[in-house]
Structure formats: C-alpha cells, structure tokens
Amino acid sequence: MLGDLGDPHLNVIPRTDDEAARVAAVTAPAESFDAPERFEERSAGAATVRARRNADAFSQPSGNISFEDELTFKVGNGLFRKIWVSAPSSTLASDGLGPLYNARGCQNCHIKDGRGHPPEGAEDTAVSMFLRVSVPADPGAEVPDIEGWIATEPDPVYGGQLQDFGLPGHAAEYRLDITYDEIEVPLSGGESASLRDPTYRAADLGYGPLSDGAMLSPRVAPQMIGLGLLEAVPAADILAGADPEDADGDGISGRAAVVWSVEHDGPMLGRFGWKAGNPTIKEQSANAFAGDMGLSSPLQPAVWGDCANAQSDCRAAPDGGDADGYEVTADGLDLVTFYSRNLAVPARRDMDDAAVLNGKRVFYETGCTACHRPKFVTHRLEDQPEQSFQLIWPYTDMLLHDMGEGLADERPEGRADGREWRTAPLWGIGMTEQVSGHATYLHDGRARSLLEAILWHGGEAQTQRDAVVAMEPADRADLIRFLESL
C-alpha cells in the first residue's frame, strides 16, 4: 500500500530523466566540510528571505512570491491573527468561538509564527500548550483500512483534546499542571547538563473524571515556517528513506505515517503535526480551527468543535455558522492555508564560520543526518510557483522514529505508537529565542537548550546521543553552533 501513496493535493509536472539525475546529484550528502556547500545559504531555495534580526523573522512571505499573491498572503495573515468571539455577535464574520477552546486566534499559540512553550509557573496563562487525550477503541470499532493503524478514539466525555477555556456558562475542561524533576547528566571533559523531566496532570477537571485508560499527550505549538515546501516534497522521495525493518542495520528504522485524508477520501502520507497526523496544511488548519478554537469549516463541519457527545450543553450552544453552516468559510480556510503555506524560511547565518563548519562535520559524522535529512527537491508544480522545484534544506526525513522511553507519551496516533515522533525540521531552530522570546524545544518544551534537546534523544537515536555525551567539549560546542546557524 505504501508504494501507492501519491500526492493528490498537488498539481504535479512529472520530472524528466534529466531532472531526476540533477536532483540526485544536488541532494547527495556533503563530502567536505572545509566550506559551505553550493546553495546552502538559501535554506528554502528561491523562497528564502533575508534573516531579520527582530521577532518578525518568521512572519515574512516567500521570497519569490508575486505582488498579487503577497496581497493574498496578507489577507490570510489577517485571518491568522483574528481574535474570534462567541456567538451570536454583531461581528458575524468573527463569531462562533468555542464553546470550549484553547485559544481565540491562531497567532495566540503560534506567537509571531514561532513555537509555543509550556507555562512558566502557575500564573502564566499564555496559551501555547495543551493535552491531547484518547482512549483505546472498542473491539470491532471501525478504523481506516491502513496497515499498522492503532485503533484509538476520543475520550467520550472530553473529546480529542482538553480545552482550558470556556465561554460564559461553560466550565473549562481542565487546568494543566506540570511538575519537573531535575536529572543531572555528566558529559565528557568534566562538563554536565541538567534535564528537566516533566510530569503532567489534568487538574480541576470540569466534567468529571477522565475515562478509564485515558492517554494524555502534551503538545506545544510548532513553528510555522517552510510548511508549503515540506508539503511539496514528493511522497516517493520521503518513502524512499523509510526502513521500517532496519534492513541496512544502522539502527535507524524510520516509518511512514499514513493517515486518512478527509479532503481526498483516501490514505495519504502524514506530514504535519508532532506525530505527522495530518497530510496537508489545509487539513492541519481545519483540525486546529476545530480542536483549538471550536470553529467549524468545510473539512470539520461540527459547529461545537471538540465537544464530546456527553457535553450536551456545549453541543447545544449558539454557533456562528454562515448560510452553509460553517464558522470558517471555504474561502477563509483557503486564505489561512495560503498564508501558512508561504511563511518563509530565513537564510542561514555564519555558514562559513570555522566553528559552524566543524559543527556540521560533527553533525554528519555522528550520524544525525540519518533522521535529520539535510536536503530535498520539491515537485515541479503547475500552480504553486513559490514551492515549485526548489532545493530545500529542512533537516528532516518526515518519517516516524522511536525516540525511546524518555520522550515516550505512550499515546498512539494513527500508525505512530507511543514512542514514535516525526523528525522535527531544524531550519530556523537557531532563531527560536529571537522570534518566540524563549528557548524551549521538543514536543512539550521540556528542553531549555539545544543540548538538552539532544540529550533527551533515545531509542533509534541513542547511539548519536551517547556520542554527543562522549565527544570532545570543543566539538560539542561547535555542534550547537552549527544548529544555531540553521
């Protein structure tokens, strides 16, 4: 079945044999680390933009966008930043929030289009993190006909994720409570690092206890840059890197996330979300509108959002649906999708710095590129010139990997089991603090530095993690400098 996966979301112009040969040559691994590779500065090809020095670095349109499409981008930005209100309201184009929700606007979680962070103390009400929840499916429950699919379903009382806000008359579902234990990790050269090991609790539950067997998984909002280019990578090129049985014996066994597409009514390659649970930006956006804000759209038509069957008052509350019954219209969903597709990746910095070049060598020789694949070339596309036939450097293979017990959430999602996560793209990671005002990493923001993020790697990445612990301190520092240059 995996070999049959295509790209129905794209209008593809097939590559010629000459183009395929050129792609193979330009995406070959680096062989020398004395100087930057050709085109390496332009992480997103022609769509790359100048690296700004302020918090707007992730909020720029594709560098190759037309004047007319830049206007479309800006309208989409307006919808992405919109603050939604409860229904009924005189502002008909902005009502329909909730009744239960995590945020009132997309930008509230993806602040400045960057990544979110966990609460910093009990008084921090900044919303950029929530808990997903699911329970094992009943035997015989209908599930997608996808090989390896792990049958789960939303909690019958709380739905698919816990919302920490409710409109007047509707209790919030919970309050996120996090405690940390510090773990000291000795490093070579007499150095050490401290990791914070989180424990999550759904406190102050507003609708009674969670169901028996409920599985919780914390998530922070990921950064938004480069999504359209990742969406345009040929599925065949991603699948070519999968090695689920570790046939080559390198200890790395990436698996493809295969999900059911609501829009295209069939299985597709999962690309977006921490476990690659969505196949396209449009479906990711529709699911975020529904789950995070309680807003309906053509792909998620329930006007009550994530309210479960048992939450009858929530389901009966007034909604903001238009004549077609949607709170986010088809045009609105398309505009937000276009905006998200065209958030540009900033250019690399300090590529020719000696420490950065040495750090790149360490990154390659340690084996980090086995999952954080440096390069792809996108499809040639008929109607998306910004994403068409671009050499990009996202540093991800877009596959699922077992990351070990330390990062396991023990909550399956589709084909991903409780220890698997999609390889996170690394482009832009060195600008996290500049854009988001903090430097926290991984799916739940537990890591307070890039080194901490590396030290949490386990499972398939245990060998690489141990190599970082044991390497010369100067090489370890240069590895971090390389990551900061991305």
- 423-432 CB burial, b ≥16 within 10 A, e <16: bbbbbbbbbb
Condensed to tens digits (0 to 9), the pLDDT of residues 198-230 reads 999 999 999 999 999 999 999 999 999 999 999
Retrieve residue 4's tokens. Answer: 């049959």
Structure-model confidence comparison of residues 91 and 400, the more confident one: 400
Token pair 């386990």: residue: 458
Condensed to tens digits (0 to 9), the pLDDT of residues 341-397 reads 999 999 999 999 999 999 999 999 999 999 999 999 999 999 999 999 999 999 999
Condensed to tens digits (0 to 9), the pLDDT of residues 222-241 reads 999 999 999 999 999 999 99
pLDDT confidence bin for 5, thresholds 50/70/90: confident
Of all residues in the chain, the percent with pLDDT exceeding 70 is 98
pLDDT confidence bin for 324, thresholds 50/70/90: confident
Q: What is the pTM for the complete model shown? A: 0.96
Contact (Cβ atoms closer than 8 angstroms) between residue 437 and residue 381: no
Position 2 pLDDT exceeds 60 = no
Between CA 150 and CA 255 the distance in angstroms is 14
Condensed to tens digits (0 to 9), the pLDDT of residues 103-155 reads 999 999 999 999 998 888 656 655 589 999 999 998 888 888 898 999 999 99
Between CA 393 and CA 27 the distance in angstroms is 9
